[in-house]
Amino acid sequence: MTLPLQYFQLWLLKFFTFLLGCMSCFYFQAQLGMTPVMGAALTGLLGTFIPETKRIEKTHVHANIYMGAFVAMGSKITDQGFWQIFFVSAIGSLIYFVMSRYFKGMGGRLGLIAFISSLLGLALKVMV
């Protein structure tokens, strides 16, 4: 029973860091009036200040923050509000959690996952 709990905790960590990247970039755009690229760049810069430990390196915390910023930068998700960003973060972190072992060494995997999660989030918005 501890193995599924460990997987859930790992996904939860990935989800919250993805959401942190999305919400930070969203905040910089919506509240501070930054362009999407500047908001994502600042989010990425602030994400680099998270200390590098073995656990953080193993769980790819930095990559999830960058993906979240990429989603908020590259899509119209920021026009939708908090719940849409929440759903896209859940979708994106789930895709990254499930598919990361298959994308080893492939360039552009973070952008691909961000694109797919944005697309699925917008499709979910249209269906609901």
Q: What is the pLDDT of residues 85-111, one digit of tens each?
A: 888 888 888 888 887 777 666 567 777
87 vs 125: which has the higher pLDDT: 87
Per-residue model confidence (pLDDT) at position 99? 78
Residue type for position 80: Q
71: domain range? Answer: 2-127
In total, how many domains does the chain have?
1
- DSSP for 7-58 reads HHHHHHHHHHHHHHHHHHHHHHHHTT---HHHHHHHHHHHHTTS---HHHHH
Cα(65)–Cα(62) distance, rounded to whole angstroms?
Answer: 5
